[in-house]
């Protein structure tokens, strides 16, 4: 067992660094640093997606025959770590990391040929239609209906917490095509063109002051049956497959380390009156860093298990839980580090394109909104309570 | 980068798990508690035959040249069986200090005997005023016509009663007073002026304090050439903490497994305890913390030979985090066993106490978060 990189891995690390240095513009870097929401705005994120695609790195987790780079686990690790360290924008994860793997796993050849290249190139921007006002943690109780009418489904209902629905041209959604014996039966996985007549989108502002999520309404929206992925009524299976990707496939420790470094740098600077000299702040900083060390080792153990063909299984719930809790600890530390400057509210967005002088130093603007928006980490993708249910059932066999 | 265990490591884990499960039963443990040595020399002989005593010792001295990962595999198995043999004191700490600081002659005379199970060692370093500061030593060593004279008082010496030789740390006194130099001395257990107060250690094994009153030693009792031993002590203690972390993971895993089984069997209100969500979530948290502790112990072992600051940050991070997880799992295991958990009728209490001792040894979580912060260039707290 060995944590160090071999010569090939070090050479790859240098390739990644060179690529980032040549393609990450100062504007992208600044915009990313000043974005307090979970996702980058599409103009920033998709510019990065196009750069990655030109290099053949548009979808690191995909198999090579669908345009993936065919990396080893170590290469994926290095790519994620270097990307986080450099502060690159978030790409459209709903496309690359969510619907992409489902289409690859269960889609028809036509769907693969049509959608996958458009995800890679950044031509399509995806949003996820899962939650509904009455179906949060109990997702499979969802009520949005798709009724067959010739070669179309007619969709009626509503989806909520839809990240970037106001930017997306496509949505993948779980809809009810049948009333089954169990509520998990009768759900289908369907791909929807957001420009279809009958779709309206209502913005929802989060407590940090950002417009990231929406409610989407479907009023007799026609979607071709050909847009259903896999079998009718099997959508729950595909949806769960995706959720496991959402929870566990990412390499989160590198991003958390970068987020902590941002706060640590602020704490060591005169802007915060050297908050780091407060022993309580210094200790909590170490406590969070050690938690990230533990998470990083767990991620490496999972990667290594994957590489030897083992299935890490429900450990994705364990990782999701820790990532969300550590993320909140980092943002909480940020609020305490900036002290009084956290009292100033800047309502305009985006922070990297303000047309006035901010009332506090620019780099402090995202700190409080990040903490506030970050309360969502222990709620989305299955709340922490749901993750504990899953761990009890799947890891402990209860 | 590769975290796949080698075939040798897999075999070591299998044989250690098997041996510990067969040998270290609850019955054996209850006998060991009242044993004056705290363990069985016959089993120590089996450790030698299995090659475990030779494991980390260099090949030139009759050892197998294993590293921190292999030690961690053994220690985790020891934790599962609550083994109280003086492996940490003799092999992980004692032999490592001789290996790092000793002269060629000292290594030749001691290390092969450790590997064969013929010599037990202990390390007397902690002092009351030092708390957990490794550099704080008030015990003195004065040069005499024939060698050295030691005076001082040591606390929390692990398994001293079993040792043939105790490695004692002391500051050198010269004509101008106490110098800055910290040195190690090999003190045979029967040396005049050495008084040992032995006690049963919390959670198993023995501990003692030492009084050194004008202990006269020959010149060659000085371990090595007399250069400052603090860097070696820090390295050895960092590795000992990694090893203890692995042992704690074995203990925590056993507590988790046992508690999980109990909550499935124990019925109240007409259903098993584990049917209650509050219990299921508690167990999920225990499982999560056990897994985090496992990651940290592995990380400390993988970093055991890194440059000193990285090594010490990993060791302190692991000690702090595993200590926190250990307390949580220990306390919740007792809690979920209800009143039975507070009795000596179950093994839960013995595992609980070993974890409490683990958290204290070489400093608790708070101490090691502070050390981590200081090593990271944050406030000197």
SS3 content of chain A, % helix, strand, coil (to 5): 55, 15, 30
- In chain B, residues with a C-beta closer than 8 Å to the C-beta of A301 are 3, 295, 298
Q: What is the mean pLDDT of residues B63-67?
A: 96
- Tell me whether the omega of the peptide bond preceding residue A350 falls within 30 degrees of 0, making it cis: yes
Beta bridge partners of A129: A173
Cβ separation B381–A282 shorter than 8 A:
yes
> In this complex, which of B264, B288, B293 lies closest to A321 when CB atoms are compared?
B288
Q: What is the mean pLDDT of residues B302-325?
A: 98
Query: Angle CA(A41)–CA(A45)–CA(A48) in degrees, nearest 5?
Result: 155
Cβ separation B372–A290 shorter than 8 A:
yes
Question: Which is more confidently placed, A210 or A307?
Answer: A210
- A314 pLDDT more than 80: no
- Asked whether residue B211 is domain-assigned, the answer is yes
SS3 of residue A56 by DSSP? coil
Q: What is the mean pLDDT of residues A136-149?
A: 96
Q: Which among B262, B328, B379 is the top mutation candidate for probing chain A, defined by the most A β-carbons within 10 Å of its own β-carbon? A: B379
Residue A311: per-residue pLDDT: 63
Cβ separation B302–A2 shorter than 8 A:
yes
How much of chain B, in percent, has pLDDT values that exceed 90?
92
Pick the last residue of a domain from B202, B221, B240.
B221
- What is the number of CB-based contacts under 8 A between chain A and chain B? 135
Q: Which of residues 373-392 of A touch B (CB under 8 A)?
A: 385, 387-389, 391-392
pLDDT in tens, A366-384: 999 999 999 999 999 889 9
- Whether residue B180 sits in one domain with residue B280: no
Please give the residue of chain B at the shortest CA–CA distance from A286: B373
Of A151, A232, A160, residue with least CA distance to A189: A232
CATH code, B108:
1.10.540.10
Cβ separation B2–A1 shorter than 8 A:
yes
* B97: Cβ contacts below 8 Å, ≥ 6 apart: B123, B167, B184, B223, B232, B233, B236
pLDDT in tens, A256-271: 999 999 999 999 999 9
- Whether residue B79 sits in one domain with residue B19: yes
Inform me whether the C-beta atom of residue B207 falls under 8 Å from chain A C-beta atoms. Answer: no
- Whether residue B310 sits in one domain with residue B189: no
- Whether residue B376 sits in one domain with residue B235: yes
Residue B36: per-residue pLDDT: 87
Q: What is the mean pLDDT of residues A218-244?
A: 93
* Count of domains for chain B: 3
Q: What is the mean pLDDT of residues B319-340?
A: 98
Q: Which among A392, A393, A394, A397 is the top mutation candidate for probing chain B, defined by the most B β-carbons within 10 Å of its own β-carbon? A: A392
- Asked whether residue B340 is domain-assigned, the answer is yes
Inform me whether the C-beta atom of residue B248 falls under 8 Å from chain A C-beta atoms. Answer: no
Residue A245: per-residue pLDDT: 65
Q: Which of residues 273-292 of B touch A (CB under 8 A)?
A: 274, 277, 280-281, 283-285, 287-288, 291-292
- Asked whether residue B2 is domain-assigned, the answer is no
Cβ separation B378–A291 shorter than 8 A:
no
- Whether residue B169 sits in one domain with residue B68: no
Q: Report the C-alpha gap between B303 and A175 in whole angstroms.
A: 50
- Whether residue B369 sits in one domain with residue B245: yes
Cβ separation B3–A77 shorter than 8 A:
no
pLDDT in tens, B239-255: 999 999 999 999 999 99
- Asked whether residue B1 is domain-assigned, the answer is no
CATH code, B211:
2.40.110.10
SS3 of residue A234 by DSSP? strand
Pick the last residue of a domain from B101, B119, B137.
B119
CATH code, B351:
1.20.140.10
Q: What is the mean pLDDT of residues A37-61?
A: 94
* A67: Cβ contacts below 8 Å, ≥ 6 apart: A56, A58, A59, A116, A117, A120
Q: Tokens for B250?
A: 């074995």
Q: Report the C-alpha gap between A395 and A389 in whole angstroms.
A: 10
With cut-offs at 50, 70 and 90, classify the pLDDT of residue A243: confident
Inform me whether the C-beta atom of residue A6 falls under 8 Å from chain B C-beta atoms. Answer: yes
Query: Could you tell me how far CA B161 lies from the centroid of its own chain?
Result: 16
Pick the last residue of a domain from B203, B221, B239.
B221
Please give the residue of chain A at the shortest CA–CA distance from B324: A287
Q: Which of residues 195-214 of A touch B (CB under 8 A)?
A: none
Beta bridge partners of A160: A215
In degrees rounded to 5, what are phi and psi of residue B175?
A: -60, -30
State ipTM: 0.94
* Chain B nearest C-alpha distance from A131 (Å): 24
pLDDT in tens, A325-341: 999 999 999 999 999 99
Q: Report the C-alpha gap between A325 and B261 in whole angstroms.
A: 28
- Asked whether residue B295 is domain-assigned, the answer is yes
Residue A247: per-residue pLDDT: 57
* Chain B nearest C-alpha distance from A85 (Å): 18
Residue B381: per-residue pLDDT: 45
- Asked whether residue B72 is domain-assigned, the answer is yes
- B144 pLDDT more than 90: yes
Average pLDDT, chain A: 94
With cut-offs at 50, 70 and 90, classify the pLDDT of residue B176: confident
pLDDT in tens, B340-360: 999 999 999 999 999 999 999
- Whether residue B364 sits in one domain with residue B265: yes
Q: What is the mean pLDDT of residues B31-45?
A: 88
Q: Which of A80, A246, A296, A370 is catalytic?
A: A246
Residue B35: per-residue pLDDT: 84
Q: Report the C-alpha gap between B249 and B299 in whole angstroms.
A: 13
Q: Which of residues 296-325 of A touch B (CB under 8 A)?
A: 296-298, 300-301, 303-304, 307-308, 315, 318, 321-322
- Asked whether residue B22 is domain-assigned, the answer is yes
Of B64, B37, B40, residue with least CA distance to B50: B64
Instruction: Answer yes or no: A246 catalytic.
Output: yes
Inform me whether the C-beta atom of residue A3 falls under 8 Å from chain B C-beta atoms. Answer: yes
- Whether residue B172 sits in one domain with residue B240: no
> In this complex, which of B292, B372, B379 lies closest to A294 when CB atoms are compared?
B292
- Whether residue B361 sits in one domain with residue B248: yes
Q: Report the C-alpha gap between B344 and B337 in whole angstroms.
A: 12
Backbone φ/ψ region at A92: left (φ over 0), alpha (ψ -120 to 50), beta:
beta
Cβ separation B1–A300 shorter than 8 A:
yes
- Asked whether residue B240 is domain-assigned, the answer is yes
Of A237, A218, A221, A220, residue with least CA distance to A229: A237
Q: Report the C-alpha gap between A388 and A391 in whole angstroms.
A: 5
Domain of residue B90, residue span: 7-119
Residue B24: per-residue pLDDT: 94
- Whether residue B194 sits in one domain with residue B170: yes
- Whether residue B212 sits in one domain with residue B133: yes
Q: H helices within chain B, ranges in order?
A: 7-23, 26-33, 41-50, 68-80, 87, 96-101, 104-116, 230-265, 277-302, 308-336, 348-360, 365-375
Q: With the C-alpha atoms ordered B36, B39, B40, B41, is the resulting torsion angle positive or negative?
A: negative
- In chain A, residues with a C-beta closer than 8 Å to the C-beta of B373 are 282-283, 285-286
In degrees rounded to 5, what are phi and psi of residue A366?
A: -80, -10
Backbone φ/ψ region at B172: left (φ over 0), alpha (ψ -120 to 50), beta:
beta
Question: Of A77-81, A207-211, A302-306, B228-232, where does mean pLDDT reach its minimum?
Answer: A302-306
In degrees rounded to 5, what are phi and psi of residue A310?
A: -80, 155
* A147: Cβ contacts below 8 Å, ≥ 6 apart: A153, A154, A156, A177
- In chain B, residues with a C-beta closer than 8 Å to the C-beta of A298 are 291-292, 295
Inform me whether the C-beta atom of residue B295 falls under 8 Å from chain A C-beta atoms. Answer: yes
- Whether residue B114 sits in one domain with residue B13: yes
């Amino acid at each position: 067992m060995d944590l160090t990189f071999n010569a090939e891995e070090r050479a790859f690390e240098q390739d990644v660094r060179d690529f980032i240095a040549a393609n990450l513009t100062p504007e992208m870097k600044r915009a990313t640093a000043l974005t307090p929401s979970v996702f980058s705005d599409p103009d920033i994120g998709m510019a990065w997606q196009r750069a990655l695609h030109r290099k053949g790195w548009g979808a690191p987790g995909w198999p090579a025959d669908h345009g993936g780079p065919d990396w080893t686990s170590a290469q994926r690790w290095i790519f994620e770590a270097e990307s986080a360290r450099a502060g690159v924008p978030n790409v459209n994860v709903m496309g690359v990391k969510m619907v992409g793997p489902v289409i690859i796993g269960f889609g028809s050849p036509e769907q693969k040929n049509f959608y996958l290249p458009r995800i890679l190139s950044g031509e399509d921007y995806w949003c996820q239609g899962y939650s509904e006002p009455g179906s949060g943690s109990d997702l499979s109780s969802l009520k949005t209906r798709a009724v067959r009418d010739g070669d179309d489904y007619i969709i009626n209902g509503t989806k909520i917490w839809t990240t970037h629905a106001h930017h997306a041209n496509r949505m993948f959604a779980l809809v009810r095509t049948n009333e089954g014996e169990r509520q998990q039966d009768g759900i289908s996985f369907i791909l929807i063109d957001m420009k279809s007549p009958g779709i309206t989108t209502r913005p929802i502002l989060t407590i940090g002051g950002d417009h990231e999520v929406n409610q989407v309404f479907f009023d007799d929206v026609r979607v071709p049956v050909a847009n259903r992925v896999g079998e009718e009524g099997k959508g729950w299976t595909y949806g769960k497959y995706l959720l496991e990707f959402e929870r566990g496939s990412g390499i989160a420790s590198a991003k958390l380390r970068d987020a902590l470094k941002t706060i640590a740098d602020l704490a060591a600077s005169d802007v915060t009156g050297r908050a780091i000299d407060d022993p309580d702040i210094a200790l909590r900083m170490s406590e969070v860093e050690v938690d990230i060390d533990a998470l990083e080792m767990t991620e490496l153990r999972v990667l290594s298990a994957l590489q030897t063909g083992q299935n890490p299984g429900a450990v994705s719930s364990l990782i999701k839980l820790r990532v969300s809790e550590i993320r909140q600890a980092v943002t909480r530390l940020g609020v305490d580090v900036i002290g009084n400057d956290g009292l100033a509210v800047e309502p305009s967005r985006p922070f990297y394109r303000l047309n006035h002088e901010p009332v506090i130093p620019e780099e402090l603007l995202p700190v409080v909104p990040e903490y506030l928006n970050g309360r969502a980490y222990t709620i989305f993708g299955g709340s922490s309570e749901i993750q504990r249910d899953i761990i009890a059932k799947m890891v402990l066999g209860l | 980068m590769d975290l796949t265990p080698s075939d040798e490591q897999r075999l070591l884990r299998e044989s250690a798990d098997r041996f510990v499960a067969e040998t270290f039963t609850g019955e054996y443990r209850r006998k060991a508690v009242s044993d004056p040595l705290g363990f069985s020399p016959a089993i120590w002989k089996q450790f030698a035959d299995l090659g475990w005593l030779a494991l980390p010792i260099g090949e030139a001295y009759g050892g197998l040249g294993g590293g921190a990962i292999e030690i961690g595999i053994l220690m985790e198995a020891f934790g599962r069986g609550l083994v109280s043999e003086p492996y940490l004191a003799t092999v992980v700490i004692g032999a490592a200090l001789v290996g790092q600081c000793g002269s060629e002659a000292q290594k030749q005379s001691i290390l092969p005997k450790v590997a064969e199970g013929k010599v037990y060692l202990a390390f007397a370093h902690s002092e009351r005023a030092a708390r957990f500061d490794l550099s704080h030593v008030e015990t003195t060593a004065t040069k005499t016509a024939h060698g050295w004279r030691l005076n001082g008082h040591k606390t929390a010496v692990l398994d001293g009663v079993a040792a043939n030789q105790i490695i004692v740390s002391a500051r050198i006194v010269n004509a101008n007073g106490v110098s800055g130099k910290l040195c190690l001395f090999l003190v045979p257990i029967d040396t005049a002026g050495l008084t040992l107060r032995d006690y049963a250690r919390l959670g198993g094994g023995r501990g003692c304090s030492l009084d050194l009153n004008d202990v006269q030693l020959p010149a060659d009792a000085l371990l090595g050439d007399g250069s400052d031993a603090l860097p070696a002590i820090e390295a050895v203690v960092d590795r000992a903490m990694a090893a203890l972390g692995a042992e704690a993971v074995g203990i925590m895993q056993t507590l988790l497994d046992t508690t999980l089984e109990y909550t499935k069997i124990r019925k109240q209100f007409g259903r098993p305890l584990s049917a209650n969500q509050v219990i299921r979530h508690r167990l999920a948290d225990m499982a999560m913390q056990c897994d985090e502790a496992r990651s940290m112990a592995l990380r400390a072992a993988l970093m055991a030979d890194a440059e000193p600051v990285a090594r010490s940050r990993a060791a302190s991070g692991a000690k702090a985090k595993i200590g926190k997880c250990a307390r949580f799992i220990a306390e919740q295991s007792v809690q979920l066993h209800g009143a039975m958990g507070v009795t000596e009728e179950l093994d839960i209490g013995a595992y609980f106490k070993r974890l409490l001792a683990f958290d204290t040894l070489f400093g608790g979580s708070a101490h090691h978060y502070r050390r981590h912060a200081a090593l990271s260039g944050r406030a000197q707290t």
